[in-house]
Amino acid sequence: MHQILEMIENKEYKKLHQKLQTMKPADIAEILHNLSDKNFLLVFRLLPKDFAIEVFSSMDSNEQAKLSKLINIDELRELVKELNFDDKIDFLEEIPAQLVKRILQNCQEQERTLINQFLNYPEYSAGSLMTIEFVDLKKEMTVKEAIDHIRKTGFKKETIYTCYVIDAFRKLEGIISLKDIILADKNKKIKDLMEKDFISITTTEDQEEIAEIFKKYDLLAVPVVDLENRLVGIITVDDIIDVIEEENTEDFHKMAALQPTEKEYINSEVFSLVKQRLPWLAILMISATFTGSIIEKFESVLSKVTALTVFMPMLMGTGGNAGSQSSTLVIRSIALGEVECEDILKILWKEFRVSLLVGVSLAIVNFARIFFIENYSILIALAVSITLFITIILAEMIGGALPILAKLLRLDPAIMASPVLTTILDTLVLVTYFSISKIILNI
């Protein structure tokens, strides 16, 4: 980075041009991210045309949008024209509709229709992810004819490692790997080599489900078909890696009670961050008034034994932490496909056994601390320790069950994570604490 800035400052443009050609597109995209608008445009225009397209594809959506404002419309049209089809769609989805219209003005009617069709697919669906740049073959081709066809058309395709066999109506009949084609006898027919038992997905399938399919079957690419089984595109593993990153980020936001956003934190405006955080915080703040109402209801208990107040934060905090542990493990297991809704009884039984052992251990330690070290009465130590034991059981069981219940209700399990769970548990812990204290202390 320092070397690039130094060349710009010294106006060593020829040297900079040569240096850029030795670098990887992703590294150049990262450097451009940290440059001023003037230097950003300068460095980009020093790149050879084909290399500039690779660099543009490596940029995130914010940097692409930034560049689209810095260059003129003719440059932008030429740049978009040379992009891989899926990269082209990704870019056009992120920019204003008016700019999309200007970019597509000079496109051929067929391409413009196809692009508009892709832009109309539901967001986060297979249709919005796929590319049309794949190798298709006919089953009556010989191996020699197939290799000639791949050589003729393959340089324009996203991948040639898997080829797709279609009939005259573009219905998908089979798939075949480039390896199988190359190693086969040149006179063999493709229909005798193709694999008829293959995985395919429809255009409307959700991207999170597609990521699960890639993981389960260890795929590098998967064909996308319409409702009549006609091949319309493919999705490759590099697109799925981006999907996995997006889904994980979204889950982290939900687990922290934040509205999901696609913008990077450092590029987010203050007002957008406020909008992202405020609604959930308001909901949680209002729901937390339940705990205040409970404390008010049991004010007579606290007034008689004020020492009980000392242990409220510890009990509520322990309950929240225990519940978060179990919910996090279950949410992760759901995301990895390790557990399903029908496993809820197994989960509850496992969490119950775990909570018994954890609860007994913590209750014994807590009783010893309160009675022997802090010198509170044995009744107070007993009330707090029993509450702690019950709290652990409630927290582990509820923390394990809520994500499954969320999935049954077709909600994202991540929303049942820490903030929501903690609010529920705080209410239950206080009711349990004061009820047990009234009985043991005879208040």
The CA distance from 175 to 221, in Å, is: 11
274 confidence band (pLDDT: 50, 70, 90) = confident
Which residue blocks in 298-412 are alpha helix, DSSP H?
Answer: 299-304, 312-335, 344-368, 378-408
Show the domain range for 376. 288-440
Q: What is the pLDDT of residue 420?
A: 73
The answer on pLDDT for 357 being more than 90 is yes
Q: What is the mean pLDDT of residues 91-101?
A: 85
Q: Is residue 84 part of a domain?
A: yes
Q: Chain centroid to CA 360: how far? A: 38
Q: For residues 109 and 154, state if they share a domain.
A: no
275 confidence band (pLDDT: 50, 70, 90) = confident
Q: Is residue 263 part of a domain?
A: no
Q: For residues 10 and 113, state if they share a domain.
A: yes
The CA distance from 354 to 344, in Å, is: 15
The answer on pLDDT for 429 being more than 60 is yes
Read off the CATH number of the domain in which 198 is found: 3.10.580.10
Q: What is the pLDDT of residue 246?
A: 75
Q: For residues 7 and 77, state if they share a domain.
A: yes
Which amino acid is residue 390, in one-letter code? Answer: I
- The sign one gets for the Cα dihedral 171, 173, 176, 182 is negative
What number of other Cβ atoms are within 10 A of residue 16's Cβ?
19
Full DSSP string of 348-365? HHHHHHHHHHHHHHHHHH
Q: For residues 296 and 170, state if they share a domain.
A: no
Q: For residues 435 and 306, state if they share a domain.
A: yes
Read off the CATH number of the domain in which 23 is found: 1.25.60.10
> Rounded to a whole number, what is the distance in angstroms from the first to the last CA of the chain?
71
Q: Is residue 275 part of a domain?
A: no
- The sign one gets for the Cα dihedral 114, 120, 125, 129 is positive
Q: For residues 182 and 221, state if they share a domain.
A: yes
* Domain end (from 95, 120, 145): 120
Q: What is the pLDDT of residue 258?
A: 53
Q: Is residue 265 part of a domain?
A: no
Q: Which of 140-144, 200-204, 332-336, 428-432 has the lowest mean pLDDT?
A: 332-336
3-state secondary structure at position 195: strand
The answer on pLDDT for 334 being more than 90 is no
331 confidence band (pLDDT: 50, 70, 90) = confident
Q: For residues 302 and 433, state if they share a domain.
A: yes
Q: What is the pLDDT of residue 359?
A: 96
Q: For residues 337 and 433, state if they share a domain.
A: yes
Q: Is residue 319 part of a domain?
A: yes
* Domain end (from 94, 120, 146): 120
Domain count, the chain: 3
Q: Is residue 278 part of a domain?
A: no
Burial 312-325 (b: 16+ CB within 10 A, else e): beebbebbbebbbb
Q: For residues 84 and 141, state if they share a domain.
A: no
pLDDT tens digits for range 359-380: 999 999 999 999 999 999 999 9
Quote the pTM value: 0.63
Q: For residues 300 and 430, state if they share a domain.
A: yes
Q: For residues 10 and 107, state if they share a domain.
A: yes
Which two three-digit tokens encode residue 193?
């080599």
Q: Is residue 279 part of a domain?
A: no
Q: Is residue 176 part of a domain?
A: yes
Q: Are 356 and 364 in contact (CB under 8 A)?
A: no
Distances (CA, A) of 423 to 144, 302, 320: 67, 21, 8
Distances (CA, A) of 54 to 49, 61, 70: 9, 14, 18
